[in-house]
Amino acid sequence: MKKRIAIDMDEVMADAVSKHLELFNRDYQENLTVADLQGKKLRDLRPHLAEQISAYFDQDSFFRDLKVMEDSQEVIRELSEHYEIFIATAAMEVPNSFADKYAWLREHFPFLNDMNFVFCGNKSIIHADYLIDDNVKHFPNFCGQGILFTAPHNIHETGYVRVNNWKEVRAYFLS
């Protein structure tokens, strides 16, 4: 029986930060970069705009045209030859994202079984050997090994196995 890898979407497979920054900079005539977000989220930098910053995720089609993380398609395809792959996205945080996330996955990862797409809130329900995620809040109650995928907001997190990119994911699982 193949081991299971659950993979988060946003900031692991899909680059939501770049689009979020692009929209924010456009609307507020700012010039913030990913470097400005090291160890923070956008709402930490502009707390007086927290509500507006969160509202971007509720916009129709926000999640539909996100850029694919470099090397993710190739590496996930390789992993799927050796592991059972599940996509576990906390879509309950943004309920109107379901259709866009599903369409995005079908477009960019057509080789994955869409019956293994899990739209959830609390990822502790996922029964897998590994969970690759950018958010450590999903690890404490997860039954397997949490693997932290580096994102600007988690750069200072310690105490977890960390991968910085998809080439490191390949090395971790296929070496």
Dihedral angle of Cα 143, 144, 145, 148, to the nearest 10 degrees: -60
Task: Pick the catalytic residue from 10, 15, 100, 133.
Answer: 10
CA distance 75 to 140: 26
CA distance 120 to 100: 15
Determine the length of the chain.
Answer: 175
Q: What is the DSSP letter of 153?
A: G
Nearest Cα neighbor of 7 from 112, 92, 99, 154 is 112
Q: 10 an active-site residue?
A: yes
Cite the active site residues. Answer: 8, 10
